[in-house]
Amino acid sequence: MFTDPAVDMDVVLSENQTGRLMLGVAVNSDAGLVGQILLDEQNFDWQRYPTSWDDFVSGRAWRGGGQRFRLEAAPGTEVQRYLASFSQPYLFDTDYSLGLSGSYFDRRYRDWDEQRVGGRVSIGYQWVANDLSTAIAYRGESVTISNISARFRSCSKSRAQRAPRLQVDGCQRHRDSAFLATEGHFLQFELEGVVGSFQYPRAVVDGRQYFLLSERPDHSGRHVLTASSRLGFTGTDTPVYDNFFAGGFSTLRASNSAAPRRW
């Protein structure tokens, strides 16, 4: 039995911002000059269209449904990327999810120019209690290769690929934060079958473990150790532009052996 007297409390809450607009410009030796325009809304509602100017001013337009909508444009001198995506995490108020996306990608490499246009539809299910989710997706993509260098020019079928893909994803998360994790783990598995101009399987396993080494009494000043690994497998009929190679800002660098040697 509680003997402490009851106390009246007034709690004042304010809704946090769910959307963001980002503008940026970057330049580096690999991708040249790249701009970024990003619109991301994590509480989107496609049925809540505006009926007055006040809906825009107050922020009620297109908000309140718990859906996610993202528009991204990244024009550049060497790389261009455009993406539109929509996701409904609780389809018809169930643990099933729906995802839709479309993208355009254009990149100038040393040995060829690459252009990709595609879309993706996915249906997922979430085991919320276990932080586990799975998804089955269909991804259609058209890949066009042009300006091929002399050492790759003999392979005519590498110029284009139309590839419907059946993709199965499994993801298990147990982290204290999705963006700046300090404890827990993350494990993701992707399996994909590609048909079209080329036929090959493709699998990726991504694992991370976070260790909290120390922190202040108020939970600030955290020192975290992260162990991560990414393993990829693909079939022998995989074209060079869809193969796995070491390199980039997060893997092996300054190695000629990591570059493609044949188509």
Using CA of residue 64, residue 66, residue 69, residue 70, what is the dihedral sign? positive
HEC-encoded secondary structure of 182-229: CCEEEEEEEEEEECCCCCEEEEEEEEEEEEEEECCCCCCCCEEEEEEE
Instruction: Return the SS3 of 172.
Output: strand
Phi, psi angles (nearest 5°) of residue 68: -125, 130
Spans of all domains in the chain: 18-73
pLDDT in tens, 126-164: 887 777 888 888 888 888 888 887 776 655 444 445 556
- Of the candidates 219, 188, 222, 223, the one whose C-alpha atom is nearest the C-alpha of residue 206 is 188
Structure confidence at residue 49 (pLDDT): 84
pTM value is: 0.75
pLDDT in tens, 162-198: 556 666 666 777 787 766 788 888 888 888 888 888 8
Mean pLDDT by 10 residues, the chain (263 residues): 73 76 87 90 89 80 90 93 95 92 91 88 83 85 83 54 60 74 87 84 89 88 90 87 68 51 44
Structure confidence at residue 213 (pLDDT): 92
H or E element: which one contains 68?
strand 67-74
Structure confidence at residue 1 (pLDDT): 55
